[in-house]
Amino acid sequence: MTIAEDAARLGLHKVGGRPPLRDYVADVWKRRAFIYSMSRFKIESENQQNSLGMFWVILKPLLNALVYGMIFGFLLPSDTRPPHFVEFLIIGVFIFEFFSQSWTAGGKAITNNAALVQSLAFPRMVLPLAAVTQRFLQFLPTVGIMLAFLMIAGNAPQLHWILIIPIFALYYVFNCGLALVTARLAAHWRDVNNFLPFLTRFFFYTTGIFFSVEERFGPHKATASKEATEGHPTIITISHFQPVHEFLSLARSALLPGNSYTIDERYWLYASVWSIGLFVFGVWFFWRAEERYGRVD
């Protein structure tokens, strides 16, 4: 009998080994309370040294929306702005902030916790999941601020506002999947984290945070001041399958008043496929390298 067989007979397991995927996922699920507790602790520890404390959770996205609103409010001609521009911008900034922070924090989840990974035996997947959960908990108060601002702007609460619940649930799952993929890549190639700020900036300026992709690049009818144009159908097609744009579009269609911003109903299908597909792939992709996290070469 080999040493491995003898250890298995006695119920002993290899430290840092990779269990079967089903057992691994079950082990992660058992630690869901730890994921939540770790997320809350991280939020408190990041803000306890600041004079304003937890108020920064709300103040940061508000300042971002204010800065972008002032800049692009002046740069964009009034006839090119989407309807309800201020509300349009705030929804875009707040929702994109969750994506960018989750991607960045999730990518660093393993590398920033190297000592923890090397010293304790636990499923490493809890780290990127905790990173995204932390950003989601920070995102929830901004949703309340966003809804309050819409009401202050004169938009009465509507029944279809409740659609943001499944939208943000899918958005959370999507960001978890993205964080799992990025966390594994960054653990083995540290340069990934250096690329993330440029990638998030690229998505910010191309996703339609402060302009409507459909109105800017779609076909335009002839008017007294300009001729009819066919637009840029390739850009429109790409945007249809760009997940962050899909989530922004779904949220805006649910929250903005009347028919000021309508979207393709297929976005629900596309966003669901992106979220579930990326999460399932991310779980498998991250699990495949479980034995390699924390290894000192």
DSSP per-residue codes, 67-130: HHHHHHHHHS-GGGSPSSHHHHHHHHHHHHHHHHHHHHHHHTTTGGGHHHHHHS-S-TTHHHHH
The pTM of the full predicted model, rounded to 2 decimals, is 0.83
Q: How many domains does the chain have?
A: 1
Residue 243 lies in a domain: yes
Torsion-angle region of 173 (φ positive above 0: left; ψ -120 to 50: alpha; else: beta): alpha
Q: Is residue 5 part of a domain?
A: no
Q: What is the pLDDT of residue 26?
A: 94
Whether residue 7 is contained in a domain is answered as: no
Q: Is residue 224 part of a domain?
A: no
For residues 294 and 268, the model is more confident at 268
Query: Per mean pLDDT, which of 10-24, 31-45, 206-220 is the most reliable?
Result: 31-45
Mean pLDDT of 145-168: 86
Cβ distance 235 to 217 under 8 Å? yes
Band (pLDDT 50/70/90 cuts) for residue 69 is low
Residue 273 above 50 pLDDT?
A: yes
Give the Cα separation of 242 and 259 in Å (integer): 22
Is pLDDT larger for residue 1 or for residue 270? 270
Owning domain of residue 104: 16-46+53-217+230-292
The answer to whether residue 222 sits within a structural domain is no
Structure token digits, residue 91 = 């929804």
pLDDT, residue 76, reads: 61
The pLDDT of residue 207 is 81
- The C-alpha atoms of residue 4 and residue 253 are separated, in whole angstroms, by 58
Q: Look at residue 234 and tell me whether its pLDDT is greater than 90.
A: no
- Taking only Cα atoms into account, the Rg of the chain, rounded to an integer number of angstroms, comes to 22
Please report, as a single letter, which amino acid is at residue 257: P
> Residue 131's pLDDT band (boundaries 50, 70, 90)?
very high
6 falls within a domain: no
Between residues 293 and 264, the one the model is more confident about: 293
d(C-alpha 259, C-alpha 282), whole Å: 36
DSSP 202-245: HHHHHTTSSS-HHHHHS-B---SSS--B---HHHHHHHHT-HHH
The mean per-residue pLDDT over the stretch 77-95 comes to: 76
Residues 117-127 pLDDT 10s: 877 778 899 99
- Identify whether the C-beta of residue 105 lies closer than 8 Å to the C-beta of residue 179: yes
Q: What is the pLDDT of residue 127?
A: 94
Structure letter (DSSP) for residue 153: T
| 9 part of a folded domain | no
Confidence tier at 223 by pLDDT (50, 70, 90): very low
On average, the pLDDT of the chain sits at 80
Q: Is residue 141 part of a domain?
A: yes
Q: CA torsion sign, 103 to 270 to 69 to 199?
A: positive
